[in-house]
Amino acid sequence: MRNLKITTFFLLILLFSCKENAPDMTFEKSHIAMHQEDEKISEEMRNFEVVLTKLYRESEKNPNRVLLKIDSLFTANQNKTDKYKSQIKPNIDQSLHSFKAELFYHIGKYKESIRELNFEDDKTGNTAISYAANYVKLKDFKTAKSFIDSIGNSNGDYYAIGNYYESIGDKTSALKTYKYGLKDDKSRKHFIYYIWTQKRVDELEKNKPLLNEIFFPTGNPNFEICEICNVDNEKRHKITQLLIKMPENQHWSSTTILESPYDTGKSYYWIRVEAENKELNYYVDQKTFEIKYFNPKTKTLKTLEEWRKGNKNGL
């Protein structure tokens, strides 16, 4: 009888334990399923980008034929009933309208390009630049300026504004804009727009001819805004994983990369970690990935061994 009571007691514990853990298990399964669903949707988007890249390549030789193919893709997209393909219909429509706008612009059909841009709900950023590019070609500089003013904080913003000033013959304002962009954007000097901006400054200071157009942003998936960023991202990911494993960084709340070798030309990353109400600074070598502790107040740098030894001794 005593054994029966003990067995019953443990069965009850097991039962309650399972009930308590059940929600966690359900959540975990739900989370995994959701991740799998997202991955399938992402895969469909990647498949579309492969098709889009091929069309961009073909458009270099035969833009008119590609315009016809885009119309066929619109029809095919509307008729899709697949569970995952259906979920990216709006994304595909948006990309195709942008592509048509870009092609029309490059073959000199500016009004048709504007018509395609009208499908965009957001008239800022690259869309605003695209509108401005078309209106400059149509010599409607007032409308072009209204879109230039609505670009906002976007990749290529200063470059586009400088292009506009060149297009209206205002070299002084163009140079001022370009130089301000370079000064304000030093941390992005490896980005293509920074490089283009620097080139325009060099050209204008040599009294080369002014531009008569604003660059038209491309939607080509193969266009690299920053060629070295992929390499930098891989390094940042590895560094993050190394820092996460450090016992000092438990209860991690945020990470800030204050300096990167690609921005400063130095050999290390300066990374600030906030963990458990503490602010910790590290220098991480970009080649060896050696981590050192940095004290920004005293400007001292220590190996992790020295730093940890000092902490034990209360230093």
Contacts of 228 (CB under 8 A, 6+ apart): 190, 262
Q: What is the dihedral of CA 70, 73, 77, 79, to 10 degrees?
A: 130
Candidates 294, 296, 290, 228; CA nearest to 261 is: 228
Q: Kindly report the pTM of this predicted structure.
A: 0.68
Would you state the pLDDT for residue 246? 92
Domain range annotation of the chain: 25-121, 123-227, 229-312
The encoded tokens of residue 118 equal 């009208």
Architecture of domain 123-227 in CATH? Answer: Alpha Horseshoe (1.25)
Q: What is the pLDDT along the chain (315 residues), one digit of tens a residue?
A: 434 333 333 333 333 344 444 445 554 555 566 667 777 888 888 899 999 999 999 999 999 999 999 999 999 988 888 777 778 888 999 999 999 999 999 999 999 999 999 998 889 999 999 999 999 999 999 999 999 999 998 888 999 999 999 999 999 999 999 999 998 766 677 789 999 999 999 999 999 999 999 999 999 998 888 766 666 778 888 998 899 889 999 888 888 888 888 777 789 999 999 988 889 999 999 999 999 999 999 999 999 999 998 887 655
Would you state the pLDDT for residue 87? 84
- Judge residue 148's burial from the number of C-beta atoms within 10 Å of its C-beta, 0-12 exposed, 13-18 middle, 19 or more buried: buried
Collapsed DSSP state (helix, strand, coil) of residue 300: strand
